[in-house]
């Protein structure tokens, strides 16, 4: 079965990338311009496999188009660059709303408090279930690669997290030897964020990251890709752990891209 899937994916990746899809990526996904030509080629291969294997469903009257599929797939697959991947195996379906949608939520805050209610959602990720996204927010985030906010990066980081068997901020790491350092660094950074918020100290990492370790990992993934220089300066050990996991160096990527355009 694994051999069949591998051969099938190889056939899909060998197909010419549809020019209309390339136009969508170049128009909608600003991050694509930061990648090297080799990374862009790898990303295009991943997009083809992702779209072939995942099902997109429109919600709230939204009709799914190639623009929606390709824009979401491109950003989800940026997290897979340079890594051995099975293309988010626990997730088969992406549900897409035209705008932010409302959902009942229960959030357990540090200290034991529970926040319940109906809240507008940009997206969510279910363990062994679908990813849900607001198309308006996907488009808005994909157009700005420097604001540290990207709902696709966030929700698909949750999917990577869940591949370990639980959503707890510890994805499957490349080597067993990494887990000790990962637990130490991310545990200390998470605890420091909570402590800083308790004492009303300014933090680079968004306060929502203090919700739980899973949200912390998803939020710092957004910062790692979109604000890498700031994250590297403020949290160098955290940046190093994320760089080793994702097999990417966005700070070097951004520096190179800026030098090429100056």
pLDDT for 2 equals 64
Contacts for 33-40 with beta carbons within 8 Å, 24 or more apart? 33/257, 34/145, 34/253, 34/254, 34/257, 35/81, 35/253, 36/253, 39/81, 39/82
- Summarised one tens digit per residue, pLDDT across range 214-249 is 999 999 999 999 999 999 999 999 999 999 999 999
Q: What tens digit of pLDDT does each residue of 103-133 get?
A: 766 656 555 666 565 566 778 998 878 999 9
pTM: 0.91
Q: How many domains does the chain have?
A: 1
The domain in which residue 223 lies consists of 2-261
The whole-number pLDDT of residue 52 equals 97
Report how far residue 171's alpha carbon sits from residue 16's, in angstroms, rounded to the nearest whole number: 33
Which residue, among 43, 96, 44, has the nearest Cα to 65 in the 3D structure? 96
In CATH, what number is assigned to the domain containing residue 129? 3.40.390.10
């Amino acid at each position: 079965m694994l051999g069949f899937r591998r051969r099938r994916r190889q056939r899909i990746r060998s197909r010419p990338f549809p020019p209309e899809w390339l136009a969508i990526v170049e128009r909608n996904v600003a991050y694509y311009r930061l990648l090297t030509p080799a990374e862009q080629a790898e990303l295009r291969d991943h997009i083809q496999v992702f779209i072939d294997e995942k099902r997109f469903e429109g919600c709230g009257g939204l009709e799914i188009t190639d623009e929606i599929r390709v824009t979401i797939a491109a950003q989800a697959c940026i997290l897979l660059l340079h890594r051995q991947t099975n293309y988010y195996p626990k997730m088969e379906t992406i549900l897409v709303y035209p705008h932010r949608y409302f959902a009942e939520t229960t959030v357990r805050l540090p200290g034991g408090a529970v926040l319940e209610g109906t809240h507008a959602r940009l997206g969510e990720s279910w363990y062994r279930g679908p990813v849900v996204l607001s198309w308006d927010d996907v488009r808005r985030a994909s157009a700005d690669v420097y604001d540290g906010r990207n709902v696709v990066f966030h929700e698909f980081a949750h999917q990577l997290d869940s591949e370990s068997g639980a959503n707890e901020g510890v994805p499957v790491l490349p080597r067993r030897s990494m887990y000790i350092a990962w637990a130490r660094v991310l545990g200390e950074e998470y605890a420091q964020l909570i402590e800083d918020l308790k004492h009303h100290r300014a933090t680079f990492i968004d306060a929502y990251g203090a919700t739980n370790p899973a949200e912390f990992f998803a939020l710092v993934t957004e910062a790692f890709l979109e604000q890498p220089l700031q994250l590297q300066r403020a949290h160098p050990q955290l940046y190093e752990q994320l760089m080793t996991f994702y097999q990417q160096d966005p700070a070097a990527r951004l520096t190179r891209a800026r030098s090429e355009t100056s």
